Amino acid sequence: MVRILISDGLDDDAIDLLKQKNYEVVCEHYEPEILLEKIKDFNCLVVRSATKVRKPLIDKSLESKNLKLIIRGGVGVDNIDVEYAENNGIAVRNTPSASSISVAELTLCHMLALSRFLHISNVTMRDNKWEKKKYEGTELFGKTLGLIGFGRIAREVAKRAYCLGMNIIYYDILGKAEGYDEYEFCSFDDVLKKSDYVSLHIPYDEKSGTVIGKRELSLMKNTAFLINCARGGVVDESALLDALNNNVIAGAGLDVFEEEPSKNEALINHPQVSVTPHIGASTVEAQKRIGFEIVDIIDSFFN
């Protein structure tokens, strides 16, 4: 019988379906040192963001050679040493489409919150402050949204922002995308310079490190907002905080952080920052899609 360890949770209906299909399912988040021993007993490991699947864990799994498949429930696989796993005969899969709409909608939520001061007026109102004159916002209509990375999620964001009357420009390392002539392909620097909102849709690469630092922030308009619902490591938080404090940019919407849970209190409590605790894929609909896509991946792989 195929033994599956679900380390970071999964939709209940998907778990029930796996059991109905006669897989042995263990839903347990083990601390790293315990997981090193437990991993040898499983054929499949399902993770989200919390569990890191690095070389030492993969090496431990090779002692029994039971582990055949690692699945990341979500888009990125930067918490998995993919190349090392696959070089050692362990397949790695993810669910790139399941949460695209949810993350795209959260991106727009941050854009709207910052534009209309929802993130801070919601707090001051609870402190019995009526600061109506202080919160004169801006409309999304007619503004330019710049997308760094133009994959599945970015395209869902673009589709929705375009319907709100925004101008869409984008940069992608792969170049101009076919079939999206209503949007303008630009250089990386031009996206930063021209945009009223810059939204990041790129993976984190430990080798290249941060993508948005002091230089990149200095290219942005001082009225612009930076949105990051992708990966925390792509933004230099120290440089971002300096940019906010010195009015280099107007604000930031952040769902992801260099360290999670974030201990950067100066950033998360900044009045020009809208924050959420990595909830991009945290919708009922996305969790069900992720769950059933994982079931399909497991079925296809082991059958």
Give the pLDDT confidence of 250-303 residue by residue, as tens digits. Answer: 999 999 999 999 999 999 999 999 999 999 999 999 999 999 999 999 999 999
Question: What is the model's pLDDT at position 139?
Answer: 98
| Domains contained in the chain, number | 2
Kindly state whether residues 240 and 125 are assigned to the same domain: yes
Are 16 and 90 within one domain?
A: yes
Q: Which of 63, 139, 259, 260 is catalytic?
A: 260
Annotated catalytic residue 278: yes
- Give the active site residue among 72, 278, 289, 293: 278
Judgement on whether residues 116 and 248 belong to the same structural domain of the protein: yes
> What pLDDT score was predicted for residue 48?
92
Q: Exposed, middle or buried: residue 225 (CB in 10 Å: 0-12, 13-18, 19+)?
A: buried
Let me know whether 138 and 206 are in one domain: yes
Residue-level pLDDT at 13: 97
> Is 116 an active-site residue?
no
Q: 89: domain CATH number?
A: 3.40.50.720
| Res 78: pLDDT | 87
Domain span holding position 92: 3-96+283-302
My answer on whether 91 and 107 are in the same domain is no
Q: Which residue reads 């290219």 in tokens?
A: 219
Residues of the chain with pLDDT under 70: none
d(CA 149, CA 171): 6
Q: Domain check: are 147 and 217 in the same one?
A: yes
Is residue 115 located within the same domain as residue 234? yes
Domain co-membership, 297 together with 208: no
Cβ contacts of residue 228 below 8 Å, gap of 6+? 199, 200, 212, 234, 235, 252, 253, 254, 255, 256
Q: 255 and 288 share a domain? A: no
Which of 93, 110, 231, 270 does the annotation list as catalytic? 231
